[in-house]
Chains A and B, each alone.
Chain A
Amino acid sequence: MTEMVLKNVSKRFGGLKAVSDLDMTVPEGRILSLIGPNGAGKTTVFNMVTGVYPPTRGEIHYNGTRLNRLKSSTIVSHGIARTFQNIRLFGSMTVLENVQVGMHCRTKSGPVRALLKTPFERKEEEAITEKTMELLDFFGLADKYNEYASNLPYGDQRLLEIARANASSPKLLLLDEPAAGMNPIETEALMDLILKLRDTGLTIFLVEHDMKLVMGISEQIVVLDHGQKIAEGAPKDIQRNEKVIEAYLGSGAKAEKKAG
């Protein structure tokens, strides 16, 4: 079972406790959302999982491997890929190349092979390009492969980020607010895409503020507030959970609800 397990994970930044004693499991082949008010520590969880910084305490395991002290690029090669809250594409590279970079950890040709242009390198380059075009077809970006990434419209840039993450053939895909800045129609398309990705066998781990998207596609939701897990369960249960409502709307809302 290739699942991700976080055990007692905490992260401190100086005096600030960004995440404290988080226990959670990302089960294989499902869509799990991590939600919470601003500053709840959601992106911190992503950053710890992907090796941007190690947790202060606790263990992160994936498929039996301890991820705590691994480098980000090594974690990617273990099958965990991510996108970013604020788009981070390689602007002066083409759409094609952006995705090709994502394939780096699944390919081998080094500098010597590149200098000598060995048959192995050529074949690998061909395979990379072919696979990239397949991916771009899947994401509907195939006709824009030769555009500079920075010239793409916003929605396409978001898609390209997911495509690039997918190029590393991950088993677990972390999406950090993929719907941020999208209009309702684009969000709708994004939901379809995430479901389609899930159907290819990917596990999706999502941080998102758009409740329509979260409630629409998540199979399981974990709620964070002030770095602590306050609820976990199916979307329906979360919507009714009082702690969650309080965290999002303040205690006044709870009182109002009780009164009404």
Chain B
Amino acid sequence: MLGQEIKKLVIYTIFLAIIILPMLGFTGGAEFQAERAFLVFGIGVALLVLNLIVKVIRSHRPPPDHDKPSLPERIGDRLHRIPKIFTLGPLLLAAGTFPLVANNYMIDVGITCLIYVCLGLGLNIVVGLCGLLDLGYIAFYAVGAYSYSLLNLTYGFSFWAALPIGVVLGMICGCIIGYPTLKMRGDYLAIVTLGFGEIIRLVLNNWDDLTAGPNGLFGMKRPPLYYPTIEDGGLDMVTYYLTSLPGLFYFILVIAILIIIGVNRLDKSRIGRAWIAIREDEVAAELSGVPTTWLKLLAYAMGAGFASVAGAFFAAKLSYVNPNFFLFMESCIVLSIVVLGGIGSIPGIIIAGFILIAVPEVFRELEAFRMLAFGAIMTTMMIIRPEGLIPASRKKREFHRQRDEAERGPQ
């Protein structure tokens, strides 16, 4: 056992040396910068040794008791027993006061985080609940962004008028990609959706007459708010455009909260149960009376609808869109958020959204190595916690309590 672990350690160390030493050593020309390279390499080796020690200590402990719920399960149980106001209250308060204490750069990162949380939650319907691997999800985000941009620039539609149209267009696109892929599963589905994502981007890039190609569209109005005032004795509506970053932050915060509530409700509804049944066993679901065709299309449409909302906001916030915002990489990041957070788990996805968007910003100075760190985090997570940060739980705690009371009642 120990011998095997030491053998692994040696192999990993050689691996690390091959990857890290040249990459970090030759950054400023051809001269080898030993100090920096060996520092990072040393940290890596230290982590490996630490891992070995932990493993050895663990192997001397008695095997875990399987009847007892695991630690995350127990923590989850505890969290659910605390009344929601004590857990959600401070969170909302923190989110609400964030723009007051943060600088503009931080608020901007916060807005991006929230946009990605919305996207993650939308993709969660398709990947997490319905079990359809979608690698071209960002296309629907693009559809939302371009719908608003074009409607606003060409016809002067306000954000609120364009939003439902954008959502409907997104949902139609969702069905267009969904329909031909109804019979596909796993790898095949992933490849088709990936292709679809690229098609949308290439269309946007090349349809110069409509989308202005790679130059993009600019000059869209910010999302407006309307409020009444009394002027000259009559009631008048004043239009106020949300131009400040804190204003936009609150706006996307409200959208995100609405999407969280919406996805949560869907998750716990008859539709959500049917989606999960499809994910678990499509044939059994169909033979239990779940119309799988319709529900899979619905999952694509709903996911695409939520992405469209996020896209419309994104276009309105930036007043600028171009096809390069919707690269395959973005789809990957959204999918990573869902996987890292825990497939099907709403709180997990919210946390993962913040981690995956905010952490690379923190490490902005490392530039090219950000992606390396991103990959390292994902790999480590998949090894130590393949079920995600907060694994999804289908257990009903509320109902449990009610039922106990009902049983005690008549006595």
Contacts and interface: CB of A to CB of B under 8 A. Distances in A.
Given A88-B283, A93-B276, A114 B271 contact: yes
A114 B265 contact: yes
Contacts of B219: none
Interface string A103-118: 0111101110111010
B396 A91 contact: no
Interface string B264-277: 01100111111011
B280 A81 contact: no
Contacts of A106: 289
Contacts of B15: none
B190 interface: no
Given A90-B284, A111-B302, A146-B395, A76 B289 contact: yes
Contacts of A165: 288
Contact of A101 (B273, B396, B399, B400): B273
B396 A104 contact: no
Nearest to A82: B287
A148 B394 contact: yes
A124 B292 contact: no
B286 interface: yes
Nearest to B262: A115
B209 interface: no
Greatest chain B CB density within 10 A among A82, A88, A106 is at A88
A101 B269 contact: no
> In terms of DSSP, what is the predominant structure of the interface of chain B?
helix
Given A114-B271, A117-B265, A121-B269, A164 B400 contact: no
Contacts of A102: 288-289
Contacts of B399: 96, 129, 146
A101 to B, nearest CB: 4
A73 B284 contact: no
Interface string B388-411: 000010111001100000000000
Interface string B287-317: 1111111000010001000000000000000
A90 B276 contact: yes
Given A52-B283, A115-B262, A73 B276 contact: no
B387 to A, nearest CB: 10
Given A93-B280, A101-B274, A104-B274, A164 B288 contact: yes
Contacts of B400: 146
Contacts of A52: 283, 287
B271 A110 contact: yes
A27 to B, nearest CB: 23
Contacts of B270: 100, 104, 107, 109, 114, 124-125, 128
Contacts of B265: 114-115, 117
Contacts, number: 112
Interface string A41-53: 0000000001010
B122 to A, nearest CB: 13
A88 B274 CA distance: 15
B52 interface: no
B187 interface: no
A30 to B, nearest CB: 23
A101 B295 CA distance: 13
A177 interface: no
A197 B284 CA distance: 22
A10 interface: no
A223 B396 CA distance: 45
B292 A73 contact: yes
Nearest to A142: B403
A88 B287 CA distance: 10
B287 A93 contact: no
A114 B269 contact: yes
Contacts of A104: 270, 273-274, 288-290
Interface string B245-280: 000000000000000001001100111111011001
B286 A73 contact: yes
A14 B394 CA distance: 43
B17 interface: no
Interface string B340-371: 00000000000000000000000000000000
Nearest to A161: B284
A101 B266 contact: no
A63 interface: no
Contact of A146 (B274, B302, B396): B396
A107 B265 CA distance: 17
Contacts of A168: 288-289
Nearest to A106: B289
A73 B286 CA distance: 5
19 contacts: A52-B283, A71-B293, A72-B287, A76-B287, A81-B288, A84-B284, A88-B284, A90-B277, A90-B285, A94-B395, A100-B270, A104-B273, A105-B291, A109-B270, A114-B265, A117-B265, A125-B269, A146-B399, A148-B395
Given A97-B394, A109-B270, A146-B399, 8 more contacts: A52-B283, A73-B291, A89-B281, A90-B276, A93-B276, A104-B273, A111-B271, A167-B288
Interface of A: 50, 52, 71-74, 76-77, 81-82, 84, 88-94, 96-97, 100-102, 104-107, 109-111, 113-115, 117, 121, 124-125, 128-129, 146, 148, 164-165, 167-168
Interface of B: 262, 265-266, 269-274, 276-277, 280-281, 283-293, 298, 302, 392, 394-396, 399-400
5 shortest interchain CB distances as A-B pairs: A105-B289, A114-B269, A76-B289, A90-B280, A88-B284
